[in-house]
């Protein structure tokens, strides 16, 4: 390690000794009528005039609470706890530059279940300075859904299930986190994991398009952070959900979660199981000129019968070492097993005349096993700061054995031969991550954040492909290979928040990341040996014009590194002349983006412009003329420029009818070099996400969602054009009182319209392709949910209205 970098890290560690002097906060205590402190009470800061939620927290064991970083304004504080009547303070003025100590808040006992009444839910979408927050529990359609389905219905998010890719605002470099922690798993496995994650365990999903400096610089599109539900009640409590659905096959999704909090300890956990056996249909149509100028057309269809079984378990323990220090341990394990039988048929014609037929029977297993652990320590300083340490240890094992039985026929359907091909891919992965973060105020107007991080990864990949000649297995030397990747990423960051005035604030940050990557193949030797460092600046400017109008401006520089599967050899056959493969020549891509957000009352408007050099297209088609093979694999585009406009407008017509509209416009310009020629592509795209919710009675509500996407360019498949598609989803929900739980019914893709069709006309390679994927099915799904807890906390079952709303507001 170079000495300047060592000195930089040493400076970061020494800076944790800096004191804090800022006191821009509101403090107080909550007691019962006997004068005893109430721990874990919900405390909400609300605007005095319209009770708009500003910030929330929970009380400590001493009954004390603290609401830091509050701007100037007129507020009131509301406190509530199960078994007590909620109480609000009188309105008070806060100057934004000094500490306010509120008089003690005393809660009276005796709240009955039928007194808990809900009049509203939290908005489904909330725009913050650097992210959009989706409140999953506010949508009826989330019942029985997976995390992947929630993302598919989210504004600006596009999920490609076939290629296991997720894009955000037209950019495919998305990093997914769970509770603020990166998954560090291959994209294909991550999509399977999200498909097996029950939405009933999810509190919010955050779409972070301009991450600050304390986030990794990886990913041109930013981060998607899935925040799981955390119970704050004392004693034992939890919930469970049971789902069953029918479409083109059956689906069942079940989960249970619990939380036990007593004194200084909090034990929590959840388990979920998913089984999905819905069928799929693919069609790949391509035409090209061969070496003899003959027009060759190949049409391949795939009738697939997959079964996904997913088990996910997560448990943890938090222990309060002192009033301001918490230590935590987290363990999790996943087993996602995807098996499939498919019948593929390939018809080849030459100059319009049938020339060959191939029937391919395919049996595949794609299984991901994952175990992870985390140990963490966090110490809160008295004046709004903290110091934290996190250590993560992750183990993955991917297995992907596949058998292909090919039956070849001539143009007159006369049988020629049968060929049995096998491929086996095994990938064990080990990852260790350590990081420390420090945050504190160094003056009334300045807050300092510093941190360091190290991520160490080891990937091994063994691919074995061959055919049977009689009873002998003969390896294919071109496709069989063993490779290993070692990667080390060291990072340090610093950022400063400066309060310029009561209405204006500035945040600037700088992150440095140094990457060492080494990919070794048993046949090619050292394939990749890279060592490079990059600086990633970020800047945010926020200005509040008045109580109704505010705007934010942000800038960020980011990197997208090629994944292991992008570089390492792997093979997935569609037919004997069509397959997916890795490419070790792929280089990292660097992007710069600026964004402007405007918030007027509840209206959200955003404009963003980004430029990325060397965009990684993970599944770009390439025609191998020598072998007449169509190969899908990763490669670098020359550059990509994306301009985005988005708006969100929640509308309340009556107390029983609400509407949410999110509209996104993208202009995507791609330059791609093919055979020495620079080709330019330009595509305009609109996305409309429309949701209406109706409250027919206290216990009956419904929701309808319409999602439309106009033709768009797919950067993760190169320059393919995805034709327009739309989907209509409907749900209705019935609550059954104190202990009866909630029953919901929903229909996904009501009109059975979700079919993807991608086209690509590439005259430079004499290639034209049209790919159709029908992976989405109209599904009818019933979901039953209920809560449990001890008798003292029986009112927890009713918090789907009043108290649940308060819990959801505490972020």
DSSP letter string, 747-771 = EESTT----EEEEEEEGGGTEEEEE
For residue 217, give the nearest of 490, 586, 507, 563 by alpha carbon: 490
CA–CA distance, 620 with 515 (Å, rounded to integer): 26
In this prediction the pTM is 0.73
Residue 481, token pair as written in the block: 């290979």
Taking CA atoms, 296 is separated from 287, 357, 415, in Å, by 5, 13, 21
Residue 775, token pair as written in the block: 């992976």
| pLDDT the model gives residue 765 | 63
Residue 652, token pair as written in the block: 């309340």
In terms of C-beta density within 10 A (0-12 exposed, 13-18 middle, 19 or more buried), how is residue 621 classed? buried
Q: How many CB atoms lie within 10 A of CB 372?
A: 21
| pLDDT the model gives residue 186 | 60
Burial string for 305-316 (b: 16+ CB within 10 Å, else e) reads ebebbbebebbb
Taking CA atoms, 222 is separated from 132, 174, 225, in Å, by 12, 6, 10
Contact 66/57 with Cβ under 8 angstroms?
A: yes
Per DSSP, the three-state class of 142 is helix
Q: Give residues with Cβ within 8 angstroms of 3, minimum separation 6.
A: none
Cα-based angle 572, 578, 582 (whole degrees, multiple of 5): 50
DSSP state of 146: B
Q: Mark out the alpha helices in 527-674 (DSSP H runs).
A: 564-567
SS (H, E, C) 403-420: EEEEEEEECCCCEEEEEE
For residue 554, give the nearest of 506, 511, 519 by alpha carbon: 506
DSSP state of 220: S
CA–CA distance, 25 with 38 (Å, rounded to integer): 21
Q: Which residues of the chain have pLDDT under 50?
A: 1-23, 111-120, 791-811
Residue 278 host element (H or E)? none
Strands (E), 470-544: 472-475, 481-499, 504-521, 525-544
CA–CA distance, 544 with 210 (Å, rounded to integer): 20
- Token pair 């019948």 is at which residue? 343
For residue 799, give the nearest of 808, 133, 78 by alpha carbon: 808
Residue 129, token pair as written in the block: 């300075």
CA–CA distance, 264 with 61 (Å, rounded to integer): 8
| pLDDT the model gives residue 119 | 39
φ/ψ (deg, to 5) at 791 = -65, -30
Contact 759/769 with Cβ under 8 angstroms?
A: yes
CA–CA distance, 513 with 521 (Å, rounded to integer): 26
Per DSSP, the three-state class of 227 is strand
Burial string for 41-77 (b: 16+ CB within 10 Å, else e) reads bbbbbbebeeeebbbbbbbbeebebbbbebeebebbb
| pLDDT the model gives residue 393 | 94
Contact 442/494 with Cβ under 8 angstroms?
A: no
| pLDDT the model gives residue 122 | 66
φ/ψ (deg, to 5) at 715 = -65, -30
DSSP state of 198: B
Domains and CATH numbers, the chain: 3-111 (2.60.40.10), 125-809 (2.40.170.20)
Cα-based angle 699, 704, 705 (whole degrees, multiple of 5): 140
pLDDT in tens, 492-545: 999 999 999 988 999 999 999 999 999 888 888 888 889 999 999 999 999 989
């Amino acid at each position: 390690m170079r000495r300047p970098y060592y000195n930089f890290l040493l400076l970061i560690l020494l800076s944790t000794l800096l004191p804090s002097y800022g006191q821009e906060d509101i403090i107080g205590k909550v007691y019962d009528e006997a004068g005893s402190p109430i721990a874990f009470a919900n405390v909400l800061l609300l605007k005095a005039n319209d009770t708009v939620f500003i910030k929330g927290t929970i009380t400590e064991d001493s009954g004390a609470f603290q609401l830091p970083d509050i701007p100037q304004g007129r507020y009131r504080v509301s406190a509530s706890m199960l078994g007590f009547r909620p109480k609000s303070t009188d309105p008070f003025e806060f100057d934004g530059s000094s500490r306010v100590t509120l008089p003690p808040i005393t809660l009276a006992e005796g709240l009955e279940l039928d007194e808990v009444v809900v009049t509203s839910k939290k908005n489904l979408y909330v725009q913050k300075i650097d992210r959009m927050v989706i409140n999953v529990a506010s949508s009826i359609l989330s019942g029985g859904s997976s995390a992947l389905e929630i993302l598919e219905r989210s504004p600006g998010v596009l999920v490609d299930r076939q290629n296991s890719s997720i894009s955000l605002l037209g950019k495919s470099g998305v990093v997914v986190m769970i509770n603020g922690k990166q998954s560090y798993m291959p994209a294909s496995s991550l999509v399977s994991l999200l498909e097996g994650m029950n939405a009933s365990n999810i509190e919010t999903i955050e779409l972070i398009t301009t991450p600050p400096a304390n986030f990794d610089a990886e990913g041109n599109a930013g981060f998607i952070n899935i925040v799981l539900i955390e119970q704050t009640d004392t004693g034992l409590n939890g919930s469970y959900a049971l789902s069953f659905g029918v479409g083109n096959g059956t689906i069942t999704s079940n989960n249970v979660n619990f939380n036990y909090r007593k004194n200084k300890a909090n034990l929590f956990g959840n388990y979920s199981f998913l089984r999905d056996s819905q069928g799929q249909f693919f069609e790949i149509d391509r035409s090209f000129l061969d070496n003899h100028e003959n027009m060759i057309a190949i049409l391949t269809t795939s009738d697939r019968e997959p079964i996904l079984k997913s088990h996910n378990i997560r448990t943890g323990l938090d222990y309060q070492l002192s009033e301001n220090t918490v230590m935590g341990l987290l363990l999790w394990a996943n087993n996602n097993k995807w098996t499939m039988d498919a019948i593929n048929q390939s018809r080849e014609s030459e100059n319009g005349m049938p020339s060959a037929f191939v029937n391919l029977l395919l049996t595949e297993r794609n299984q991901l096993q994952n175990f992870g652990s985390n140990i963490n320590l966090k110490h809160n300083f008295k004046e709004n700061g903290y110091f934290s340490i996190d250590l993560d240890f992750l183990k993955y094992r991917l297995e992907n054995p596949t058998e292909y039985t090919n039956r070849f026929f001539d143009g007159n359907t006369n049988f020629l031969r049968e060929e049995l091909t096998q491929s086996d891919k095994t990938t064990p992965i080990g990852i260790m991550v350590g990081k420390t973060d420090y945050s504190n105020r160094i003056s009334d107007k300045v807050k300092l954040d510093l941190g360091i991080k190290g991520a160490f990864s080891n990937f091994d990949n063994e691919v074995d492909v061959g055919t049977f000649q009689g009873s002998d297995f003969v390896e294919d030397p071109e496709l069989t290979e063993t490779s290993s990747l070692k990667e080390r990423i060291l990072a340090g960051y610093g950022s400063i928040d400066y309060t310029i005035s009561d209405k204006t604030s500035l945040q600037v940050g700088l992150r440095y990341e140094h990457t060492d990557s080494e990919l070794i193949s048993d046949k090619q030797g050292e394939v990749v040996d890279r060592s490079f460092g990059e600086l990633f600046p970020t800047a945010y400017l926020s200005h509040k014009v008045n109580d109704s109008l505010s705007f934010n401006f942000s800038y960020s520089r980011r990197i997208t590194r090629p994944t292991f599967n992008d570089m390492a050899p792997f093979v997935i056959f569609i037919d004997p002349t069509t397959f997916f493969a890795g490419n070790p020549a792929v280089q990292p891509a660097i992007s710069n983006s600026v964004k402007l957000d405007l918030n007027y009352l509840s209206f959200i408007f955003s404009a963003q412009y980004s430029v990325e050099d060397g965009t990684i297209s993970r599944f770009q088609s390439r025609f191998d003329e020598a072998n007449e093979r169509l190969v899908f694999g990763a490669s670098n585009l020359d550059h990509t420029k994306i301009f985005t406009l988005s708006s969100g407008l929640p509308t309340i017509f009556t107390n029983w009818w609400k509407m949410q509209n999110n509209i996104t416009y993208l202009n995507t310009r791609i330059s791609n070099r093919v055979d020495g020629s620079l080709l330019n592509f330009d595509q305009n795209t609109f996305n409309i996400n429309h949701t209406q919710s109706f409250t027919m009675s206290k216990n009956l509500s419904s929701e309808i969602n319409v999602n439309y996407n106009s033709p768009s360019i797919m950067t993760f498949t190169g320059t393919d054009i995805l034709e327009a598609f739309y989907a209509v989803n409907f749900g209705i929900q019935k609550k059954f009182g104190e202990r009866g739980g909630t029953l919901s019914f929903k229909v996904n893709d009501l009109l059975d319209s979700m079919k993807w069709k991608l086209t690509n006309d590439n005259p430079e390679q004499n290639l034209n392709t049209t790919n159709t994927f029908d992976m989405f099915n109209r599904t009818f799904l019933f979901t039953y949910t209920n809560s449990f807890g001890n008798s003292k906390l029986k009112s927890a079952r009713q918090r789907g209205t009043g108290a649940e709303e308060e819990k959801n507001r505490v972020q």
